[in-house]
Amino acid sequence: MENRLRVLRAERSWSQQDLAERLEVSRQSVNAIETGRYDPSLPLAFRIAELFGLTIEDVFESPSRRSSKAI
């Protein structure tokens, strides 16, 4: 799933480790989510969005909307 995690993190000058500590997950989890290799659970997606003061849709791109855009 596409997301804006890298951009949001860069805007705050946070390293992956900084973000991982704030979310209480491992750095490898942040890396996996950021690179789209792992889609977080809904509770973790909420935690990520709330940390940036955004909604989930502002952080993660809906796969269905993405495919409809392609059509």
Partner 1 sequence: MSGSMAWKRYNMRVIWLSLLYAIFLLGAIYAFKHQLLSGFVAYVAAILPALPIIGIFGAIGRYLVEEEDEYVRMLMVRQTLWASAIALSAATIWGFLQSFNLAGHIDAYYIAVVWFFGLGVGGCINKLTLGAPVGC
Given the rule CB under 8 A, which residues bind partner 1? Answer: 24-26, 28-29, 32-33, 37-38, 40-41, 44
Burial class (CB in 10 A: 0-12, 13-18, 19+), 10: exposed
Coil, strand or helix at 65: helix
Residue (8 or 40) nearer to partner 1, CB: 40
Residue (41 or 64) nearer to partner 1, CB: 41
Output the smallest distance, CB 51 to partner 1, in A. 16
Output the smallest distance, CB 53 to partner 1, in A. 23
Residue (42 or 70) nearer to partner 1, CB: 42
Q: Please report which helix (H) or strand (E) contains residue 23, including its range.
A: helix 16-23
